[in-house]
Amino acid sequence: MSHVLDYYNHLHTIPELGFEEVKTSKFIAEKLAEFGYTNIQTGVGGTTGVVATMDSGEPGPTVLLRADMDCLAHNIDGEVVLRHTCGHDGHSSMLLATAEEVIKYYPVSSGKLIFLFQPAEELGTGAHAIADAGVLEGVEYAFGAHVRPIEEASNGQAVAAIYYASSATIQATFTGVTSHAARPHLGVNALDAAVLAINAVNTIHLRPTESYSVKATQFHADSGVTNSIPGKAFVTWDLRAQLNPTMKELHEKVITAITNAGQANGCTVEYDDSKMLTAAEHNEECIDLLKEAISEVLGDENMVPEVITPGGEDFWVYTNRYPNLKAGFFGLGCDLKPGLHHPDMSFDTSALENGVKIYLTVLKNLGMID
């Protein structure tokens, strides 16, 4: 047995938001050094990212294993509470335990092995920052994992491929002119423009054979008093599409709709659409490697068919930035309930040991460790 539960029990108590994982990354870097890794990078790309590398010096593939580190913020009874309700503490624990097992018992005999602890997955910008730092240069294979809801996989099961959708966030600011509510003709009502934009977006229709959705998730407009027309309004939209070309079309139409709606009401419109996650593009060789590993660790009967989900995952930014990268991403069954991102999310932590074994088996089958 590895020490994965020890690491989880600690990381679970120090939840930190994206790009603020200071205590988390410090703990991980200290443990990697304690294990015996000498090639450790911290503050990767000016972030809290941590990278540890083991180079055999012998010919072979360059393989990257990646885990995310950040938590979520929940508004509970009027108080903002930080909690690990997406399982990233479990992901980091699995990867940390895998790194320990490798250096202690399975020295890398060929190629180069990279352990990446990535910040800010929930923000959708962590993978971009890591890619910008050049961590993926020369990497041939990349693998990641995510704990799964009980509806998809139970404890003792695993999924060889999770087909995440493309997801995007558009945050628009509508700027009009504030005026007294008794003299609306002297102002430009940003709230009206925002409402018109929401309705305009709701009229967007793409081919019904393609899976997609778009909906407003936040709306703020308040001049500070009840008898004043607001001069600013803020709306956030969430976009989802199972295929990357569908997302491109949806994104363009949403931008057109909100821009035209705002201008029709006399408002200027500015928007931030920097949060864009690519749909999953699994490599068939990686799927086969993960299927083989799951079969060896858990048995064929506990391999769940590939899962299609409307959820997003910024791991796939890497394949978008590096089209020749061979990537695989497995789902770990762990009796997770009532659901990801729920403030009371919990799972059977004994499943984390299975994740460590699956990672190690993939490395063995790639010929990197004995």
Q: Is residue 171 part of a domain?
A: yes
Q: In the chain, count of helices (H) and strands (E)? A: 9, 18
Hey, how many other C-beta atoms are within 10 angstroms of the C-beta on 250? 22
Read off the tokens for 92: 């980091």
> Any idea what DSSP says for residue 202?
H
* % of the chain beyond a pLDDT of 90: 98
Residues 191 and 151 placed together within one structural domain of the fold: no
Residue 33 located in a structural domain:
yes
The terminus-to-terminus CA distance of the chain in angstroms comes to: 18
CATH number at residue 320: 3.40.630.10
In our burial notation (b when 16+ CB lie closer than 10 A, e otherwise), range 107-123 reads ebebbbbbbbbbbbbbb
The pLDDT value recorded for residue 329 is 98
3-state secondary structure of 223: coil
Q: Is residue 188 part of a domain?
A: yes
Q: Tell me: do 105 and 206 sit in the same domain.
A: no
Residue 66 above 90 pLDDT? yes
Report d(CA 47, CA 188) in Å as an integer. Answer: 41
Among 218, 248, 277, residue at a domain's last position: 277
Nearest to 111 by CA among 55, 169, 166: 55
Q: How far apart are CA 196 and CA 174, in angstroms?
A: 11
- Cis before residue 338, ω within 30 degrees of 0? yes
What's the residue count for the chain? Answer: 370
Task: Note whether 50 and 136 are same-domain residues.
Answer: yes
The reported pLDDT for the residue numbered 285 is 98
Q: Name the one residue in this structure whose structure tokens are 């989880």.
A: 8
> What pLDDT, on the 0 to 100 scale, is given for residue 30?
98
The residue from 246, 277, 308 where one domain ends is 277
Say what the pLDDT of residue 280 is: 96
CB atoms within 10 A of CB 151: 10
Rounded CA-CA distance 356/171 in Å is 38
Whose tokens are 């450790």? That residue is 40
CA distance 52 to 336: 30
Whether residues 107 and 28 fall in one domain: yes
Note whether 142 and 180 are same-domain residues. Answer: no
Q: How far is CA 276 from the centre of its chain?
A: 11
Q: Of 223, 250, 277, which one is at a domain's C-terminal end?
A: 277
Confidence tier at 229 by pLDDT (50, 70, 90):
very high
Model confidence at 136, pLDDT cuts 50, 70, 90, reads very high
3-state secondary structure of 144: strand
Domain count, the chain: 2
pLDDT band at 344 (very low <50, low <70, confident <90, very high): very high
Show the domain range for 9. 4-165+280-365
> 265 and 118, same structural domain?
no
pLDDT score of 370 more than 90: no
Cα 170 from Cα 328, distance rounded (Å) = 28
Give the SS3 label for residue 169.
strand
In this predicted structure, what is the pLDDT of residue 276? 87
Distance, in Å, from the CA atom of 98 to the CA atom of 219, rounded to the nearest integer, reads 44
Q: What is the mean pLDDT of residues 322-328?
A: 97
Residue 80's pLDDT band, with cuts at 50, 70 and 90, is very high
pLDDT in tens, 140-174: 999 999 999 999 999 999 999 999 999 999 999 99
- Identify whether residues 129 and 264 lie together within a single domain: no
239-292 pLDDT per residue, tens: 999 999 999 999 999 999 999 999 999 999 999 998 889 999 999 999 999 999
Name residues whose C-beta falls within 8 Å of residue 207's C-beta, 6 or more positions apart in sequence: none
Q: Is 67 within the bounds of a domain?
A: yes
Q: How confident is the model at residue 203 (pLDDT cuts 50, 70, 90)?
A: very high
Query: Is 105 a domain residue?
Result: yes
The CATH code of the domain that includes 203 is 3.30.70.360
Residue 370 within any structural domain of the chain: no
**Token digits for 13?**
């108590």
72 and 151 both lie in a single domain: yes
The pLDDT of residue 274: 84
Neighbours of 369 (CB within 10 A): 22
Mean residue pLDDT of the chain comes to 97
pLDDT higher than threshold 90 for residue 107? no
Tell me, yes or no, whether 340 and 325 share the same domain: yes
